[in-house]
Amino acid sequence: MTDRILVLVRHGQSEWNLKNLFTGWKDVDLTEQGIAEAKKAGARLKAEGLKFDVGFTSNLKRAQRTLEIALQEMGNTGIPIIKNVALNERDYGDLVGMNKDDARKKWGEEQVLKWRRSFDIAPPGGESLRDTIARALPYFVQEILPRVLRGERTIVAAHGNSLRALVMVLEKLTPEGILKRELSTGVPIIYRLNADSTVAGKVDLAA
């Protein structure tokens, strides 16, 4: 039987996560904690006995470094790594670089909450979660999923919101359901898929 393995992992803590800033497409690096989270992700995957054939990531270094560090920790380097803007984090537009508390003072708690947690309301100049899903999901279906279904063990290191697009389709979540779904930094989720791309099993490697 073909082993159809797909692992999703949100990047480790970034410098702007630490500072409580809206990050979006700003290309910030990992913190020391983020590096440790990426190493821990690799160690957890190694303990599961996994080896990957291909990796996917975004155009942003915090996701790329998370993938690189995790694979090094596994002794699983040298595989093809495919980078694409479709897996980038949601673009927060005018909020990028702003402290979340300052944004609440400027626009009010309720408005900022709508931008952060509604499905289809975008911040000024940015993307809603629906917009992010609209670019990430076709890429997943066209480029990533076929490899998984062919039996290539695949790891995707990306961002909270771009990964939500993948989780939404894999777990058949509603727009309301995906809004409530939190993805922790550096914690891999292992999916085993059936031949028809439905989920046969899921393991969340949270501590």
Which residue intervals of the chain are DSSP H helices?
15-18, 32-47, 61-74, 100-107, 109-117, 129-139, 145-149, 160-170, 175-179
* Domain layout of the chain by residue ranges: 5-150+162-204
Q: Which CATH number fits domain 5-150+162-204: 3.90.79.10, 3.40.309.10, 3.40.50.1240, 3.40.50.2000?
A: 3.40.50.1240
The pLDDT assigned to 54 comes to 98
Reported as a single tens digit per residue, the pLDDT across 145-168 is 999 999 999 999 999 999 999 999
Average pLDDT of the segment spanning 53-65 = 98
**Are 75 and 46 contacting, i.e. CB atoms less than 8 angstroms apart?**
yes
Is this prediction's pTM over 0.85? yes
Of the candidates 68, 73, 89, 152, the residue annotated as catalytic is 89
Known catalytic residue at 11:
yes
Of the candidates 11, 73, 127, 159, the residue annotated as catalytic is 11
The pLDDT assigned to 2 comes to 66
The pLDDT assigned to 56 comes to 98
- How far is the C-alpha of 58 from the C-alpha of 75, rounded, in Å? 22
Known catalytic residue at 89:
yes
Question: Mean pLDDT for the chain?
Answer: 94
